[in-house]
């Protein structure tokens, strides 16, 4: 959750985060396949050392998406969005409390009519007519 929140806070989309997680999960699968191949190699070396004539057959390691085999999983962007929104909903009261506790020795305010024109419109009509913002000396 920390990685997702940090990524979204710095402009990394949930789609990009999903792609990164997919890449990491595929890498993990590849490392497991490598371990599997090393184990087969060791077993063949031991069989040669002991002069065993019978060669056992080995199943190939399954593909990442194979539901009957490895069954790799990575979260989709919609799942990440849902988890992030639920998380932010849970910590919203805590964030509000933190903001309320910040001092305001120097307050700057702005009443703008230009910014709301760029904000979302509902059925073609302007949703907000004005925007009022406050900043303290720490912002």
pLDDT value at residue 3: 87
**Residue-number span of the structural domain to which 130 is assigned:** 102-139
pLDDT in tens, 84-124: 999 999 999 998 898 888 777 888 888 888 877 777 777 87
Q: For residue 79, is pLDDT > 90?
A: yes
Which residues, in sequence order, are bridge partners of residue 133? 110
Asked if 10 and 74 sit in the same domain, the reply is yes
What distances in angstroms separate CA 30 from CA 26, 70, 96, 122, one per listed residue?
6, 11, 44, 48
pLDDT in tens, 21-49: 999 999 999 999 999 999 999 988 888 88
CA–CA separation, 83 and 117 (whole Å): 31
Residues in the chain: 139
Show the tokens assigned to 31: 């490392």
Q: For residue 138, is pLDDT > 90?
A: no
CA–CA separation, 82 and 4 (whole Å): 12
Asked if 33 and 95 sit in the same domain, the reply is yes
Our separate counts of H helices and E strands in the chain read 4, 4
Asked if 76 and 131 sit in the same domain, the reply is no
Q: Supply the DSSP string of 59-81, one letter for each residue.
A: PPPPPTT-TTTT------HHHHH
Asked if 19 and 72 sit in the same domain, the reply is yes
CA–CA separation, 20 and 79 (whole Å): 14
Asked if 96 and 70 sit in the same domain, the reply is yes
Asked if 26 and 76 sit in the same domain, the reply is yes
pLDDT value at residue 89: 93
pLDDT grade, residue 81 (50/70/90)? Answer: very high
- Which position has the token pair 């019978």? 54
Asked if 69 and 121 sit in the same domain, the reply is no
Q: Is 65 left (phi over 0), alpha (psi -120 to 50) or beta?
A: alpha
Asked if 108 and 90 sit in the same domain, the reply is no
pLDDT grade, residue 139 (50/70/90)? Answer: low
Note the maximum CA span of the chain.
87
């Amino acid at each position: 959750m920390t990685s997702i929140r940090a990524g979204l806070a710095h402009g990394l989309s949930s789609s990009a985060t999903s792609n990164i997680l997919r890449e990491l999960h595929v890498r993990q699968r590849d490392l497991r396949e490598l371990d599997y191949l090393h184990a087969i190699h060791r077993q063949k070396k031991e069989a040669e050392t002991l002069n065993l004539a019978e060669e056992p057959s080995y199943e190939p390691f399954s593909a990442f998406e194979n539901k009957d085999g490895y069954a790799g999983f990575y979260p989709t962007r919609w799942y990440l969005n849902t988890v992030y929104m639920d998380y932010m909903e849970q910590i919203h009261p805590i964030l509000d409390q933190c903001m309320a506790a910040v001092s305001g020795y120097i307050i700057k305010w702005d009443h703008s009519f230009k910014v709301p024109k760029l904000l979302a419109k509902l059925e073609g009509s302007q949703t907000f007519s004005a925007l009022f913002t406050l900043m303290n000396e720490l912002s």
